[in-house]
Chains A and B, each alone.
Chain A
Amino acid sequence: MSAALSSIGRVLGRPPIGIVLAIATVVVILVAAIFAPLIAPYDPNVQNLLGRLKPPGFVIRNTHYLLGSDELGRDTFSRLIYGARISLLVAFASVVLSGITGSILGMLAALYRGWVETVIMRAVDIVLSIPAILMAIITVATLGPGLQNVVFVLVLTRWPRYARVAYGQTLIIANTSYLRLSRSMGAGWFHILRYHVLPNIAGAIVVVVTLEFGLMVLFEAGLSFLGLGVQPPTASWGVMLSVGRNYVANAWWLSVIPGAALFLFVLSVNVLGDFLRDRLDPRSR
């Protein structure tokens, strides 16, 4: 067992301590999000008017506020865990949907060139030149706030990132003999993408996915913070922060704790993303 582990270690090289910490942070937060009902000590939405704005470690009638309580006496620790669920769910859904859309469009543009390429890549340029927050504002102002609309905005504004990378990577292999052979044998576009192109460009896409995941968590929190994203009383890190900022003077934990969770998660994902990019892309060394 230890021999097997050390051989894996030899292949990957010894990861720096920062990477180990980053992986540990991401894993802890992921586990907390997935198993929220098993880990959270209390219901995140249950109010206790006797236990309002209590500091971390406060105990009142069998209720132990590990990380304090908010203005309605809800347990910050439980809300933090359930909040991770919402924040990561939004990020996951938008990364998957925009990743699939963008990658397919990018690969098609590089494989078929001509007008397909022109239309797709000009659309990429246009969407990239419009600030995402403005798209979010106009969407929320017309469609109203909410989980689905946040995901919709994120997919609408983020797919070009994947399209660009997929396009560039596919161009590199577009003229290889095995691709030409496959096409001349009458393979359809889906078959070519799935079996010939995707395996070649997957590494580059994974790097974008990692870097984008952190950004999506930040974006969701930002929108919810402004009141344009997830709506209270549902707990998300952005919602918690937006409530917490009203109590900076007398309840520091309400803004420091969700912000710290958000910061640690994004920092870890960014560290991992940079590490993966350096490992998978020999040019950036």
Chain B
Amino acid sequence: MKDTDAAFRRAPVLERVIQVGGFVVRRLVQALIALFGVITLVFFLQRLTGDPVLLLVPQGATQADTDVMRTALGFDRPLYIQYFGFLADLVRFDLGRSYVQNLPVVDIISSRVPYTLELAAGALVVAIGLGVPIGILIAVRRDRFEARWLIGLVLIGQSMPTFWTSVLLIMFFGVWLRWLPPSGVNGFQSLIMPSLALGFLSMATFARVTRTSVLDELSKDYVRTGLAKGLSMSRLIAHHLMRNAAVPIVTISALEIANLLTGAIIIETVFAWPGLGQLTIQAISARDFSIVQGVVIIGAAAAILLNLIADLLYSIIDPRIRLPGRDA
């Protein structure tokens, strides 16, 4: 009797696990298809729009060199064999060789990854550190003039091109005031401006999401009860409201990290920051196609993974959220 009771109580949990498990599997398959789509696109864009050997050989190579290269790299084989070879290499994390630098692409890319991650982390600190408090203030003081100024700031953040923010920061703090190094990597100081420039755009997103989420919570009964029993607004927000309002903010973080990583491509070029973005732009002008291809595949994989994480967080953190695809 006792056992059936326990089973009874466990049933909804079990169903939830099955439900979530099914959703995770479906989303994983979808993510794999997306990754497969990118890889296929990269392969065929390169093969069908011209001679791929010309993209890979260094500029100024002779016809004989090119022909040797074609046979050596297997570009004289039928297209479908090349395609499966390409996929097989990728499964083994082999992204090919850079024929300009004469190094494996994986090594070149992995030496640059830490810099991009460092920049994205700095930007995320800026974005959350500014965006969440601004969002809370806008929601709480919604009819006061402070809120209007902050909404203006958010709109500006959303409309400032990151490369223009960067140039302005360099002009003010690097050239005129000489407070910060205008470019390069030289300790913590050189991380400040790129992080600000990159984080400012995300700040707007965090502020918007926080505002909506806090506004939703403010209308609930427990807020009225808390205020009625004499809690101060700041204490109420810190101890009760933010726990509920944080769910959408956490999930949007995963998506924003993906945006920051791709946004870094522009910022790195402006600040001569030696991450993946700078590597890619340099590789394009050096006609080093294997690096470009490697960065695009890895970048797309990272973005797809972060998308997946955002979706999973969204459905797992908050049990009230109905899982999509159940009745579709």
Which residues of A pack against B, CB within 8 Å? 122, 125-126, 129-134, 137-143, 214, 218, 221-222, 225-228, 241-242, 244-245, 248-249, 252, 255-256, 259, 262-263, 266-267, 270-271, 274
B246 to chain A, nearest CB (A): 23
Chain B residue at minimal CB-CB distance from A242: B163
B145 to chain A, nearest CB (A): 14
Instruction: Contact check, B296 vs A134: say whether CB atoms are below 8 A apart.
Output: yes
Of the candidates A125, A130, A225, A263, the one having the most CB atoms from chain B within 10 angstroms of its own CB is A130
Bound Cα distance A133, B266 (Å): 10
Contact with A along B17-35 (1 / 0, CB 8 A): 0000000000000110110
Let me know if B167 is at the binding interface, CB within 8 A.
yes
Number of A-B contacts (CB under 8 A): 126
Given contacts A255-B164, A259-B161, A267-B159, are A248 and B171 in contact (CB under 8 A)? yes
Contacts of A129 in B (CB 8 A): 31, 34, 303-304, 307
Q: A134-B296, A225-B163, A259-B164 are in contact. List 5 more A-B contacts (CB 8 A).
A: A130-B37, A138-B42, A241-B161, A256-B171, A266-B161
Instruction: Name A's interface SS.
Output: helix
Let me know if B270 is at the binding interface, CB within 8 A.
yes
Contact of A138 among B50, B261, B285, B296 (CB under 8 A): B296
Q: Which residues in window 224-259 of B have CB below 8 A to A?
A: 258-259
Instruction: Contact check, A227 vs B42: say whether CB atoms are below 8 A apart.
Output: no
Instruction: Contact check, A125 vs B45: say whether CB atoms are below 8 A apart.
Output: no
Contacts of A244 in B (CB 8 A): 167
Contact with A along B35-64 (1 / 0, CB 8 A): 001100110011001100001000000000
Instruction: Contact check, A125 vs B300: say whether CB atoms are below 8 A apart.
Output: no
Bound Cα distance A126, B49 (Å): 23
Instruction: Contact check, B158 vs A138: say whether CB atoms are below 8 A apart.
Output: no
Contact of A222 among B159, B266, B285 (CB under 8 A): B266
Contacts of A245 in B (CB 8 A): 163, 167, 170, 270
Contact of A263 among B45, B160, B258, B285 (CB under 8 A): B160
Which residues of B pack against A, CB within 8 Å? 30-31, 33-34, 37-38, 41-42, 45-46, 49-50, 55, 155-156, 158-164, 167-168, 170-171, 174-175, 182, 258-259, 261-263, 265-266, 269-270, 280-281, 284-285, 289, 292-293, 295-296, 299-300, 303-304, 307
Instruction: Contact check, A218 vs B38: say whether CB atoms are below 8 A apart.
Output: no
Chain B residue at minimal CB-CB distance from A249: B175
Instruction: Name B's interface SS.
Output: helix
8 contacts between A and B (CB under 8 A): A122-B33, A125-B30, A130-B304, A133-B262, A134-B296, A249-B175, A255-B164, A263-B159
Contacts of A267 in B (CB 8 A): 155-156, 159
Chain B residue at minimal CB-CB distance from A140: B284
Given contacts A133-B265, A139-B45, are A241 and B163 in contact (CB under 8 A)? yes
Given contacts A138-B42, A248-B167, A248-B170, are A131 and B258 in contact (CB under 8 A)? yes
Instruction: Contact check, B284 vs A137: say whether CB atoms are below 8 A apart.
Output: yes
Instruction: Contact check, B300 vs A131: say whether CB atoms are below 8 A apart.
Output: yes
Bound Cα distance A270, B261 (Å): 24
Contacts of B31 in A (CB 8 A): 129
Bound Cα distance A245, B197 (Å): 15
Bound Cα distance A222, B167 (Å): 13
Bound Cα distance A143, B42 (Å): 12
Instruction: Contact check, A241 vs B155: say whether CB atoms are below 8 A apart.
Output: no
